[in-house]
Chains A and B, each alone.
Chain A
């Protein structure tokens, strides 16, 4: 196996963030099952390496736009677990004061312009943020996350055209988890290689293993550099898989147990942890301890969220207008 150039602190950081996301999602599934969490939730479990790897390539003052499955991006961009969990439960202490919820999880204070209830709804936000950076010459970048399904939306093409024409600093990151709800990429898209959907706009594209945090980090870093050098947008496709169904009511009849096993065997957290132990960057004990530490954080965050109050009735009309 190729030796990874990684210091211990960084290895712990990546592994811990991925564990936080996984356990956050597992916890929500649990809360949904107990009807403590109401409504729906689109869970990111399985795709952790993408959010964590991509976020490792940017600075805190760079922007991101999240997806229709956005919890992971919020955590990786620096959102606080208790506030995020409280938001999922619609509590006053949530990062959006209980007005957003799972589908609209956002934390502008961390440069996160939000998840989106509309598939592909965030392309404009990302592209416009890129325009601000270009006009103000601030040398920031925007990471625009979206799923495979969103590449079939018109706005995807309008925005890629605009960003390419205006040379905007946006890295479009396609998380190909193979399904838009139940319809597979094969059944929905005329092109299975999703990079081909961006190549007509004359921008660089690449495909990486979305189950490998370092592959994602390195792939995105290359394109972030491209944007910072004033060379404009790019698109990277991260091949991945969501472990849970689209939402809690999804019986997953459109995919096989064998396919699920194939991806679970390549689990981003297990493979990265194993690699770090094999390469003696971390010990198994350290990996296990990290897992326990994250469990404790999630327990605390969940307790905080459950015990937090709902918004006051007077909040109904607050924050609509400035």
Chain B
């Protein structure tokens, strides 16, 4: 096992897949010479040349659109939307075109494209550089939405996403790039659509992903000291959701807390919670609780930014109340 940063794990996945398949190429703003706004693609241009690692103009719609065009004609593009906040500019190409083309064409085409992007707060960048917009994308049939938190999961899932014949939105988190984790020396992939139990427990199920997973795990550690034994599940893929793994846990714990940084209203927590109710209301001993982002644009002030997303203490408080 080696220790790699989250960004390095993603970089390694890109490099391995580009070596494996000459049809894989990377395209986006500042991905080549600069190596990506958060450094994820650094070194790739030097290794693979400018034909396969392409700096684009600041044209998100064209990046997504041309990525789609390349995907349906035989390439496997990995495009980068520098901040998920900018995905709105490319959304027509993503939700009207990329997600629907296969279905609209009666299954006569494949769309093997990965849209890499990153979101989330933590750097006091304010409302246009800190959002968590995954629920917009989860609402679009035809896409797959993956949101890994650990270097291990990021690498294995990105490799699968690149090999996938469907469009995959791969959402990273800017505050995870500098976190480290173990990566096997040998090659591996992880299945899209499969949740991961990050901590086993029996008293309550905490469902959390991306940055919120790390906070949920910290909360679980502290709750253990107070005698509450938490099971922590990372769905990893938000669309399609692995509800089976979640239900196995609910059947055991009978209590659920869902944590995410995105705004609460219309967030993925609502969907996950509702699927739990539909699949097993009778297993629940108490109402499902959500610990989510505030329903506000992300403020600049560091204290307000911190208040706008769930913190470890918030998860602890809600979980304790639920278990009392």
Q: Does B associate with A?
A: yes
* Residue A113, interface by CB 8 Å: yes
Known: A128-B73, A162-B56. A319 touches B66 (CB 8 A): no
The 8 Å CB contact of B102, one of A118, A131, A320, is A320
List of A residues within 8 angstroms of B101 by Cβ: 114
- Is B102 a contact of A322 with CB atoms below 8 Å? yes
Min CB distance A232 to B, Å, is 14
Min CB distance B73 to A, Å, is 4
Min CB distance B161 to A, Å, is 13
Known: A121-B97, A128-B69, A131-B66. A320 touches B142 (CB 8 A): yes
A98's closest neighbor in chain B, by CB? B106
Min CB distance A320 to B, Å, is 5
Q: Give the most central of A95, A97, A109, A321: most B CB within 10 Å.
A: A321
* Residue A318, interface by CB 8 Å: yes
Select the stretch in B57-65, B198-206, B269-277 that faces chain A: B57-65
List of B residues within 8 angstroms of A126 by Cβ: 69
Interface size on B, residues (CB 8 A): 42
* Residue A127, interface by CB 8 Å: yes
- Is B62 a contact of A162 with CB atoms below 8 Å? yes
* Residue A180, interface by CB 8 Å: no
- Is B107 a contact of A128 with CB atoms below 8 Å? no
- Find residues 66-113 in chain B having any chain A CB closer than 8 Å to their own CB: 66-75, 77, 92-93, 96-97, 101-110
* Residue A99, interface by CB 8 Å: yes
Bound Cα distance from A121 to B100, whole angstroms? 12
- Is B110 a contact of A322 with CB atoms below 8 Å? yes
- Is B105 a contact of A132 with CB atoms below 8 Å? no
- Is B106 a contact of A128 with CB atoms below 8 Å? no
- Find residues 241-257 in chain A having any chain B CB closer than 8 Å to their own CB: none
Per-residue A-contact encoding for B147-188, CB less than 8 Å = 1, 0 else: 000000000000000001110000000000000000000000
Bound Cα distance from A42 to B73, whole angstroms? 27
The 8 Å CB contact of A127, one of B62, B71, B144, B166, is B62
Min CB distance B184 to A, Å, is 28
Min CB distance B94 to A, Å, is 10
List of B residues within 8 angstroms of A96 by Cβ: 104-106, 108
Bound Cα distance from A320 to B142, whole angstroms? 6
Bound Cα distance from A136 to B107, whole angstroms? 24
Q: Give the most central of A96, A100, A124, A129: most B CB within 10 Å.
A: A124
List of B residues within 8 angstroms of A162 by Cβ: 56-57, 59, 62, 66
Known: A124-B62, A158-B61, A161-B62. A99 touches B72 (CB 8 A): no
- Is A320 a contact of B70 with CB atoms below 8 Å? no
Per-residue B-contact encoding for A304-322, CB less than 8 Å = 1, 0 else: 0000000000000011111
Per-residue B-contact encoding for A124-150, CB less than 8 Å = 1, 0 else: 111111111101100000000000000
Bound Cα distance from A96 to B101, whole angstroms? 10
A134's closest neighbor in chain B, by CB? B51
* Residue B25, interface by CB 8 Å: yes
* Residue A272, interface by CB 8 Å: no
- Is A125 a contact of B62 with CB atoms below 8 Å? no
Bound Cα distance from A210 to B10, whole angstroms? 50
The 8 Å CB contact of B105, one of A104, A133, A136, A318, is A104
Min CB distance A38 to B, Å, is 17
The 8 Å CB contact of B107, one of A113, A155, A158, A318, is A318
Q: Give the most central of A63, A118, A320: most B CB within 10 Å.
A: A320
The 8 Å CB contact of B66, one of A108, A109, A127, is A127
- Is A124 a contact of B106 with CB atoms below 8 Å? no
The 8 Å CB contact of B57, one of A109, A113, A117, A161, is A161
Known: A124-B66, A124-B68. A158 touches B57 (CB 8 A): yes
List of A residues within 8 angstroms of B106 by Cβ: 94-100, 319
List of B residues within 8 angstroms of A106 by Cβ: 104-105, 108
* Residue A165, interface by CB 8 Å: yes
* Residue A123, interface by CB 8 Å: yes
What are 13 inter-chain pairs, A to B, with CB distance below 8 A? A94-B106, A96-B104, A96-B108, A106-B105, A118-B97, A121-B93, A135-B25, A158-B59, A162-B62, A319-B103, A319-B106, A322-B102, A322-B164
* Residues of B participating in the A interface, judged by any CB pair closer than 8 Å: 25, 51-52, 54, 56-57, 59, 61-62, 64-75, 77, 92-93, 96-97, 101-110, 141-142, 144, 164-166
- Given A321-B102, A322-B110, 19 extra CB contacts under 8 A: A98-B106, A104-B104, A106-B105, A106-B108, A124-B69, A124-B97, A128-B65, A132-B74, A132-B75, A136-B75, A155-B92, A158-B61, A158-B65, A159-B66, A162-B57, A318-B107, A320-B102, A321-B142, A322-B165
